[in-house]
Structure 1
């Protein structure tokens, strides 16, 4: 088995950036979900309620992100990694509340204009820690603005199995994994505990419960009923529909496409 895809999502719920290699940090892949859009009350925004967030485009440059929009091709925004208004805001992401740094008025206005909602862009503070739930911790791991865990892995065979059951296949981007691998049977990742990629040891924490975001076409922003309906027929446990595995990393390092996975 080997890594075939590495993805980061610098701004939560916006599209991925695919990489050939990435640094693994305790809180996630470098730059992954370091920024997040919130409403004026500080509650995070996502494609669950704003599917049009899928229409943004994000490119990784040496010292900044270059942002654009599929429907407004002449509108671009440069977001320096160092951007910081000097102001903080208490933000809410699921059950967690943390202090985040406000990116500034220019970023707020750019996103607000394109999303047609009053929103703000925030960044995870350098000294801020959003802890992984204690029962999943090994070495006091923390997470950025990802839903609950720093990493998500899915096997290509698992997607192939799902697509064999669908009238219209769906791409892997519906599931927003950080790591995709080839080889092994469908859902092989469900049975793993600890494994190694490129000298980094990862540990499975829990299966990833899927939501309505999987039904949003990432090219058009339109919702359907699949693949969630079909997944519910054979990947349901209790009230949760499961696809992919959440991970923590037990050490830092670098992973790259082509790296083998050692169980």
Structure 2
């Protein structure tokens, strides 16, 4: 039996997350407090998506919700207020996430100026259009249709607490400091399963919900970024390379699993909820 111990929604891709007690399940991920996971995103002037890979300082942009407003905070900056209501008159610009070109709503010059100052790099803020559907690749889902918003590829990232504990044990043996879970930026954290058992699960389910892990999450340098300061430190990838290189991903280091919603769209996920574990063999 697996127990859900943490739920995190990231309103702005690659900025700080919101830890929430419950979240609604949708085909394209989690929503809570009136916002959807990865609903906003920063892009270059040419529309290319930005993440902490290129701009580690994005980590210190912290979103919060106040009524019908998303408020972004950053050190030394006045808060930026963004209405949760969609602006039907917002201009559409084409943005690029990996190989996906997506029409997105531009959030205007004031937001672009605020974020450019906050992260120290010229950028614009865009929002996922509510009338757009971004399907995920079916290569890893055996043809099952799913969708996402501005995430890299799939709607939910899940990690077992024991996996982080195992990583921190290896880091301790090498004389390194332990890492918090936020370095790996999951949406769902589960306890009660063995280290990296999520790699071999066909589904986590209860009577109403079924979450299906489909693709191992290949890791980039973001786990090296201190999420409280936006400053990169020692990269754990050298330790992880010794035992987490995944032949299914051409030798890339993987931690956590990308997940699709197989059942339970519209249901609530809650911290403390328990799930049966169906193994894939």
* Shorter-chain TM-score tier: over 0.9
**Secondary structure of the corresponding residue to residue 250 of structure 1:** strand
Give, in whole Å, the separation in 2 of the partners of 1:139 and 1:125. 23
Structure 1: any 5+ residue segments left out of the alignment?
Answer: none
**Secondary structure of the corresponding residue to residue 223 of structure 2:** helix
Distance change (3 Å), C-alpha of 1:200 and 1:62: farther
Give, in whole Å, the separation in 2 of the partners of 1:81 and 1:229. 41
Give, in whole Å, the separation in 1 of the partners of 2:270 and 2:165. 22
**Alignment-derived partner of residue 197 in structure 2:** 188
The count of aligned residue pairs is 261
- 1:156 deviates by 0.6
Is the deviation greater in 127-136 or in 186-195?
127-136
Distance change (3 Å), C-alpha of 1:81 and 1:48: same
Is the deviation greater in 248-257 or in 75-84?
75-84
**Secondary structure of the corresponding residue to residue 46 of structure 2:** coil
Alignment of 1:168-183 (within 5 A): 168-183=177-192
TM-score by length of 1: 0.95
- 1:83 deviates by 4.4
Give, in whole Å, the separation in 2 of the partners of 1:199 and 1:218. 34
**Secondary structure of the corresponding residue to residue 170 of structure 2:** coil
TM-score by length of 2: 0.89
Matching of residue 233 in structure 1 with residue 242 in structure 2: yes
Q: Of 63, 72, 78, which residue of structure 2 is paired with 1:67?
A: 72
- 1:61 deviates by 2.9
Q: CA RMSD in A?
A: 1.5
Deviations 1:146-182 (A, max 9, x none): 0111001111111001101112100000000000011
Alignment of 1:76-155 (within 5 A): 76-84=79-87, 85-137=89-141, 139-155=144-160
